Amino acid sequence: MIKRNLLVMGLAVLLSACGFQMRGTGGNEMSIPEMNLTARNAYGELVTQLRRTLQNSGVKVHKSAPYTLVLAREQEDQRAATYTRASRSAEYELSTTLEYVIKGHNDTVLLQDQLEVRRYYVRDGNNVTASSQESEQIRKELRRDLVQSMMIRLQQITPAQLEELQAKADERAKAEARAQQEAQRIQDETPQQSPLEIPAQ
């Protein structure tokens, strides 16, 4: 019994040293302490699950946070992957694509990217009801996959990186404003030609 316990403890130490972590034991540590979260469908399953996961990871999700994660577009697709001999679709590929944006001060876009997850299922032409239920279950699993993928992306972002992106965005905005002011000054100082008057015949 003691040898077995020692073996289990040894394997646990070895796996943790290799970076392995059991599902459900954490691993969603975030360096971003607070963030706002918005989506087109404010009450959709995806944004609800992601908000809950962020909060469980110690992130304060509120509207006055300095950075906002925007779930801009979620698109679900389905296509036939393989066919039976009778040319009837047998296996389907379900995929979901999520376009997201991270905004900073003054609604400035700091990061913009997308995620895609996909799974397959076999559709039984003799049992359409069961196939539909399986499809819906896979859709739920795809949403969970998207949430996990989004969390992995966010874990790779630090506040320092966001601050640097914000500083660069502010500099671009200032440069554009100066260019517009200079163009307006030149236009104001350029004499306007009077319309050519044609004498009456």
Band of residue 14 on the pLDDT scale cut at 50, 70, 90: very low
Residue type at 118 in one-letter notation: R
Q: Which domains does the chain have, with CATH numbers?
A: 29-171 (3.30.160.150)
Q: Residue 184: which residues within 8 A CB-CB, separation 6 or more? A: none
Question: Between β-strands 109-122 and 34-39, what pairing exists: parallel, antiparallel or unpaired?
Answer: unpaired
> CB burial class (10 A; 0-12, 13-18, 19+) of residue 116?
middle
Q: Indicate whether 1 pLDDT > 70.
A: no
How far from the centroid of its chain's Cα atoms is residue 76's Cα? 15
Q: How far apart are CA 144 and CA 11, in angstroms?
A: 29
Model pTM? 0.71
Closest of 128, 117, 140, 139 to residue 89, by C-alpha: 128
What are the pLDDT digits (tens) for 75-101?
Answer: 999 888 776 666 566 788 899 999 999
What are the pLDDT digits (tens) for 109-145?
Answer: 999 999 999 998 877 665 556 567 887 889 999 999 9
* 3-state SS assignment for residue 160: helix
